[in-house]
Amino acid sequence: MKAFILDRYGSADRVRAGDMPDPELREDDVLVQVHAAGVNLLDSKIRNGEFKLILPYRLPLVLGHDVAGVVVRVGSRVRRFKPGDEVYARLADGRIGAFAEFSAIKEDDVAIKPKALTMEEAASIPLVGLTAWQALIERANLKQGQKVLIHAGSGGVGTFAIQLAKHVGATVATTTSTANVDLVRSLGADVVIDYKNEDFAAVLRDYDVVLNSLDKVTLERSLQVLKPGGQLISISGPPDAGFARSIGASWVLRIFMGFMSYGIRAKAKRRRAHYSFLFMRANGGQLTEITSLIDDEIIRPVVDRVFPFASTKEAMAYVEAGRAKGKVVVSLR
C-alpha cells in the first residue's frame, strides 16, 4: 500500500512517500480503506522523536492518528462492524498509521462516521474531539454554570472544546488572535481575549477549569485565573507521575516525570488548585457519543484546509506553522 513513512527520527526530510505491506488484521480488528486522514501536531512531534521515551515505536513507521474510511474486512471476533460501514477513529498509541491506504484498527477504537459529514470532515474530529471530551467531561467533570478558559480557541482542540463546553452549559473564555475573534465567537465563546492586545491573567478570575495547550509561561500564568479547587489541565505538558502510571511506565520514568512537573504542581498547590497532564487515548465509545452530538448539530467540524494525499508532508508543515483555523486534513480519494 502507498504510505508516508518515517525511517529515522528527525526533521521533515526524514518522512517519505513509499510502499509498505498492508497492515496485519488481528481477530478484534477492522481493516479500513482510508479515505481521509487528520493531521495533528502530534504527528510532527513523534516524527521529531519527542515521544521516544513514552511511545517507543519500531521504525520504519507510518505516521498519522486520525482516519475516516470504509470497512473492507473484519477480524473473526468483531461483532459491531461489517464491510461497507463508513467509520472513523483515532488510532491507538502503538498502532498509528493513518497516512496510508489501509489501516487495521481495534474494534473498540472505532465508531460509525457522523451521517452528515464528508470523509474529510469526519477525519478532522477524532483526536481533537476525544482530547476535549477526556479533558472537560471525563477529567474536569465540567458542569452547567461553571467557568472554563480554553486556550488557543481557534485551533483544532480549541474549536471543538468551545462547542463541547457550551453544550454542557459552562461559561467559556478563550484566547485567540485578532484575526480569529469572529470564529471563536461563532462557536459560542462568551469571553474572547485577543492575546495580542489583552492579558488573559489580568482579565479573568475565579475560573473552575483551564485547558492549556500552549507554552510554559502561559501554563503558569493560567493558575492566576483559577478559583481555589480549580483544575489546570494541560495537553502540552509537562507530564506527571499520574500519567506515567497510566501508561505502565517504569519507576525510573515515573520519578522523572514527577520531577518534570514538580514546579507547576507545587505552584498549583500553593494556590489550592490542581495540575494534571492529559495525553488522550483512543476510545470508540466516547467517539460514538461525539457522533451523536454532531448528528444532532450541537457540534460542527472546523476544517481549515484539505491537502491531497501526495502533499502530506506539506500538510504537516502547515500544521507546524501554527496558523491553521481548526483542523487540517489529507484526502486519499
Same domain assignment for residues 153 and 272: yes
Q: How confident is the model at residue 148 (pLDDT cuts 50, 70, 90)?
A: very high
Rounded CA separation 94/101 (Å) = 18
The lowest-confidence range among 57-71, 95-109, 231-245 is: 231-245
Same domain assignment for residues 68 and 202: no
Number of domains in the chain: 2
Same domain assignment for residues 134 and 264: yes
* Within-domain flag for 290: no
Same domain assignment for residues 163 and 260: yes
Give the residue ranges of DSSP H helices in the chain: 41-47, 119-123, 126-132, 156-168, 181-186, 200-203, 216-222, 241-246, 251-260, 262-270, 284-295, 312-320
pLDDT value at residue 215: 94
* Within-domain flag for 8: yes
Q: Average pLDDT for residues 69-98, to the nearest whole number?
A: 97
Q: Identify the CA nearest to 233 among candidates 265, 217, 266, 210.
A: 210
pLDDT value at residue 166: 98
Same domain assignment for residues 320 and 188: no
| All three cell numbers of 170 | 459552562
pLDDT value at residue 214: 94
Percent of the chain at pLDDT above 70?
100
pLDDT value at residue 242: 86
Domain ranges, residue 200: 128-277
**CA-CA distances (angstroms) from residue 308 to 37, 296, 322?**
10, 30, 20
Per-residue pLDDT tens over the stretch 220-247: 999 999 999 999 999 998 998 888 888 8
Rounded to 5 degrees, φ, ψ at 106 are -60, 135
Same domain assignment for residues 269 and 308: no
Per-residue pLDDT tens over the stretch 255-273: 988 998 999 999 999 999 9
Work out the mean pLDDT of the chain and round it to a whole number.
Answer: 96
Q: Which helix (H) or strand (E) holds 178?
A: none
* Within-domain flag for 284: no
Burial (CB count <10 Å: 0-12, 13-18, 19+), residue 88 = buried
* Within-domain flag for 7: yes
Q: Are strands 61-62 and 2-6 parallel, antiparallel or unpaired?
A: antiparallel
Same domain assignment for residues 113 and 88: yes
Same domain assignment for residues 83 and 142: no
* Within-domain flag for 289: no
Same domain assignment for residues 112 and 142: no
Same domain assignment for residues 217 and 263: yes
Same domain assignment for residues 270 and 305: no
* Within-domain flag for 184: yes
Task: Give the CATH number, domain containing residue 232.
Answer: 3.40.50.720
The lowest-confidence range among 6-20, 26-40, 100-114 is: 6-20
